[in-house]
Structure 1
Amino acid sequence: MDPVIIVGAGPVGLTLALALARQEVPSVVLDEGPGEDEPRPARSVVLREDTTELVKRLTGMPLTAVGSPWAGWRSVRRKQVTHEVAFDDTEPGPVHIAQHVLTGVLRAALVGEPLVEVVLDSRLDSLAQEPSGVTAHTRGPRGAWWRGSYLVGCDGPRSTVRKLQDIRFPGRTAVERHAVAALRTELPRPGEALLHRMPPWRTSGPFAGEISARPLTDGVWRLDWLMPPGKELVTPELLLDRVRETLGGWVEGPTPPYELLDTGVHTVHHRLARRWRAGRVFLAGDAAHLLGALGTHGLDEGLRDVDNLAWKLALAWHHGPHEALLDSYQTERRAIVAARLRAADQALPLVRGGGGLRSYVPGAGRGHDAFLAEGHLGRGTLGAPGVHTGSPLTPPPLEGEVPVGTPAGAPVTDVRVTAEDGTFVRLRGRLGRGALLVVLVAPGTGVWERRHWMSAGIMPRLASAVAALPQPAELLVAESYPGAAAHTVLLVRPDGYLVTALSGVRPASLYTAAETALGGPAPTGTGADAGAGAAGTDAGADAGTGAGAEVDAGTGAGSR
């Protein structure tokens, strides 16, 4: 079986290569660059809890060691704090990291990985599909033909893969524009991110209405000034004036010492590809969507694309194509991103407008501040991991199905579980291996050795039912799970989304749920049938539902 071809060696492409390797799928990563990233502290990304855990699981490196986990968050309007959050071990904050540092962590994890070949200075210029695979050609010093089983375009906003497949990318341009500066200085609240709206020292013209400050490591901060619509030129003199004015305003005195490290302009666009699958070719990350307005970050969604796609490609690579399962990548991910974009588009006129409802609704400004905080913190409709409502992988109503604290189609809670070897692990730590997870909620098992309860009660029946599932599954035991009664059985997808919760051992219901979560009955064809499936529908958002991304020169935070 030929490897998967990954076009693009940004964070999304490298993460996909690692995710496939962890499931024993080889890949070739076509990197159009030299394999080194220019240090740009103003080009940074904010990752939420689920995406930082994904990177940690794949690389073994906690991003808190190389990035800056937020100690807290404050929203300030003029001089009044309108929203404040403190983070701790029970509620970890987002991690802010320079993109070149993140890419370095991913590249380091690929060193010595036998299942991944990274090919430098190789730019895709053509590709062709056949029923049995994909052929791609690259130009450059190592120009060559490449043969793959599938091809995934992780090659950014100007995706060559998307253009070669003639996939439209409608949306809106320059939804928001920010001037950006990365500098080393001391601010009053170290480690705490800040969104300051309508600062009392603001002046007329650019940079007047909204400023954000996000900590990086080693005393470095990234400052963003929201610019009004238009094409005002951001000159170095103007930017330096705003740096001094902002720092002086925050410390309420003379401008503190600072070292300016990097500057740029970050422009947000809203775009959504019509299709994310065309036969054996897929799109992921900024090649499929651009978003980033109101504090959200597109790389979060790109890494979630990878988590959704990797296990489906791995199953197709190992066991033969399953068109319904592969089609579900577009159906699930595009719907979530489309909803995110619709929410941002609907909110923008209210949050950014100077009049309208804000003039008539008491407290509207405070409500807008809370909405903006959700975007920055990765919560609510703007940033929280989506729920796969209406997914084709959702099973029909099942006998013995019971509600728990997690809705079907939502990410599971990361509880402590006992693995099959008797060790205590975190549930999220068992994800990404291509196997389904079956979790029995059994209070009291944590105080007994595994040998005492593996052969007692309902465990033998459950183990037998798990062994009969259509796909390898790992049986885990949890002392408790939010909203679940004793002897509840949870079925979890390889990417950590809940399929169903059952009351007790119900082999028929468990089998039906597992089969549906894998795309339906196993295909009877062979690998030659791959690529014959539907290229996907245009369900979801259209032009104008949009998404923002960091694609400009300067901060250039568009992730690949």
Structure 2
Amino acid sequence: MDPVIIVGAGPVGLALSLALAAQGVPSVVLDEGAGKEESRPARSVVLRADMAAMVERLGCTTLRDEGVRWIGWRGMRRRQEVRRLTLDLGLGGTEEWSEDPDAPASPASPLHIPQHALARGLRDAISRQKLIRLVTESRLDTIEQDRDGIVAHTRGPAGTWWRGSHLVGCDGARSTVRKLLGIRFPGRTAVERHAVAALRTELPWPGEALLHRQPPWRGAAEEITARPLPDGVWRIDWLLPPRGDLVTPDALVARIRETLAGWCEGVTPPYELIDTGVHTVHHRLARRWRVDRVLLAGDAAHLLGAVGTQGLDEGLRDVDNLAWKLAHAWHHGGSERLLDSYQSERRTAVATRLRAADQSLPVLRGGRGLRTYLPGATRGHDALLTDGHVGRGPLGAPPAYPHSPLAPPYTEGQTPVGTPAGAPVEDVRVTAPDGTTVRLRDRLGQGRLLVLLVAPGTGVWDRRHWRSAGVMPRLEEAVEALPAKAEVLVTEAYPGAPAHAVLLVRPDGHLVAAFSGVRPEELYAAADAARGGPATEEDPAETAPSEEAVEVSVSSDRTADTH
């Protein structure tokens, strides 16, 4: 089999190559640049806890050293603190409202990291992979498809033809892949503009992020965000008028001094200015994300980022959704429904996020008119913005795919649990087949379905006893007969699930269905639906090549082949 061709070596393209390699699929990554990351602390990204965990599973080791997980989130309006979240490092936390002490628990802490550090960590992980070839100074200019694969031509020091099984365009907002396919990219330009600075200083909230609306000092921006980075560095964003003047260096320094003084009792503390920039947010959504063997992901497929939404986080969700489907198609000749479900699920989820942001903007940015003085209005606005930044609600919560084309039909044997079908499962502790106890999230991303049995009391039993007792033998027999590879896991409890419930989970952690007990026929039908049904083409070899056997080759003539 030919490798998957990935166009673009930003974080999304790099992560996709690693996610495919984890499932035995070779890839060639075409990097238009020279393969070096420019250090820009003012260009940072926020990853929700589940996406940070996914990146760590891919072997990226920079998250812990060069990223910061917020210990808290503060919301201020004028001179008052109106909201405070106390976050923990992955298990959720508590929320302290100035007006409502009974608010719900907060989500797990997001991770804040410079984008160049994230990309460097992904490149380091790629350097340890034999299934990935990273090719620099290669600019795509031609794509041609046939029944058996795809051919792409790149310009560079030596013009080259590449042949692959599929091609994924992860080449950013000005995507060449999207343009070659003639796919429209409608949307809105300059939805928001922010002046940005990365500086080293001491602020009154070490380790916490801050959203300050309508600061009281003269000439202040309508909204200011401060988020910590390692080594005492902060990224500060000032919301700018949509069509304001250019941000001059003197004007930015004045903003910095006024803001720091406003937060530090009227005195500007010492600071070191490290990096600056202007961040312009666009909202766009590609009409199509798949054309036969070519797919789009990341900024090539969508742009968002207003009111706390996170573009790169959504790009990594594209990777999480696409990688296992592409791997299944590569190994087993997946059905058209399986690959079509990528566009159906992810485009719908991003469109919903964009719609929520666009509907929120007129309310949040509509000035200080009558709405500001309506009872509870400002509190609702603060809550909406907080949700977008910390990862919950319509602006930030992980997406669910309730209407997925991969959803199985309802059967009488299905039982409701705390997670709706199509939503991400809870990260409960599970016992793996080798007897180790891990988090459920640790078993994701390996290209196989997970079958989770809820069995209270197993934690105090000897594994050799419960593996051969009760429903386990029948369950393992049913799983062995499934039409796709699956792993049996056991947990003491799952939210809302009765004892002996069986949950079928996709490789990306979304719930397929839950059953009241072991029901082999229904479990088989659900697994078949999750893989998109039988392959529409003759299956290729069932076994993946070993790393030593994979060699991605190129040729300067048009008949280039691999392997």
Alpha-carbon contact 1:46-1:97 (below 8 Å) kept = yes
CA contact (8 A) 1:388 1:409 kept: yes
Contact kept, 8 Å, 1:350 with 1:357, in 2: the verdict is no
Structure 2 residue matching 1:20: 3-state secondary structure: helix
Change (3 A) 1:359 1:224: closer
Letter in 1 for 2:524: Y
In structure 1, stretches of 5+ residues that fail to align are 529-560
Counterpart of 2:183 in structure 1: which amino acid?
I
1:445 pairs with 458, 464, 485, which one? Answer: 458
1:80 Cα deviation (Å)? 1.2
Matched with 2:362 is 349
1:366-385 to 2 correspondences below 5 Å: 366-385=379-398
Are 2:401 and 1:388 aligned? yes
| Count of residues in correspondence between the two structures | 525
The alpha-carbon deviation at position 515 of structure 1 amounts to 0.5
- The corresponding residue for 2:268 is 255
Could you tell me the TM-score, scaled by structure 2's length?
Answer: 0.92
**1:288-437 equivalences in 2 (<5 Å):** 288-355=301-368, 358-359=371-372, 361-437=374-450
- Secondary structure, in 3 states, of the residue corresponding to 1:188? coil
State whether structure 2 residue 467 is matched by structure 1 residue 475.
Answer: no
Quote how far apart the aligned CAs of 1:321 are: 3.6
Moved more, 63-72 or 425-434: 63-72
2:211 partner SS: strand
- Residue of structure 2 aligned with 1:197, choices 184, 206, 213: 213
Kindly state the Cα deviation for residue 14 of structure 1 after the two structures are TM-superposed. Answer: 0.3
Task: Among all aligned residue pairs of Structure 1 and Structure 2, give the percentage whose two residues are the same amino acid.
Answer: 70
Aligned-partner SS, 1:365: helix
Alpha carbons 1:64, 1:95 under 8 Å: kept: no
Structure 2 unmatched ranges of 5 or more? 93-107, 542-563
* CA drift at 1:79: 1.1
Which amino acid is 1:86 matched to? T
TM-score by length of 1: 0.92
Q: Quote the residue 2:470 is aligned against.
A: 457
Q: Aligned partners of 1:291, 1:202: CA distance in 2, in Å?
A: 31
User: In the alignment, is the contact (CA less than 8 A) between 1:285 and 1:302 conserved in 2?
Assistant: yes
Aligned to 2:283: 270
Shift of 1:254: 1.7
After superposing on structure 2, the runs of 4+ consecutive aligned residues of structure 1 that deviate more than 6 Å are none
1:125 counterpart = 2:141? yes
* 1:216 aligned onto 2:229: yes
Contact 2:62 2:121 in 1 (8 A): no
In the aligned structure 2, how far is the partner of 1:506 from the partner of 1:62?
Answer: 44
Residues 39-61 of structure 1 show CA distances to partners (whole Å, capped at 9, x for unaligned) of 00000001111110100111163
- Asked whether the equivalents of residues 132 and 527 of structure 1 are also in contact (C-alpha less than 8 Å), the reply is no
User: Would you say 1:14 and 2:10 are equivalent positions?
Assistant: no
Compute the displacement of 1:252 (Å): 0.9
Q: In the alignment, what sits opposite 1:187?
A: 203
State the match for 1:169 in structure 2: 185
* 2:550 matched residue in structure 1: none
Look up the equivalent residue of 2:115 and give its one-letter code.
Q
Instruction: Quote the Cα distance in structure 2 between the aligned partners of 1:100 and 1:190.
Output: 23
> 1:67 maps to what in 2?
67
Q: Residue 202 of structure 1: CA displacement?
A: 3.3
In structure 2, C-alpha distance between the alignment counterparts of 1:65 and 1:379, rounded to whole Å = 26
Superposition CA RMSD, Å: 1.3
The one-letter code matched in structure 2 to 1:95 is: L
Structure with bigger RCO (C-alpha 8 Å, 6+ apart): 1
Distance 1:62 1:451, change over 3 A: farther
Aligned-partner Cα distance in 2 for 1:102–1:349: 34
Deviates further, 473-482 or 63-72: 63-72
**1:89-118 CA distances to partner (integer Å, 9 max, x unpaired)?**
422311110000000110011113110000
Name the counterpart of 2:121. 105
Cα distance in 1 for partners of 2:372, 2:500 equals 55
Q: Which residue matches 1:505?
A: 518
Whether the aligned pair in 1 keeps the contact of 2:289 and 2:296 (CA below 8 Å) is: yes
AA at the equivalent of 1:143: G
CA contact (8 A) 2:332 2:535 kept: no
Letter in 2 for 1:38: E
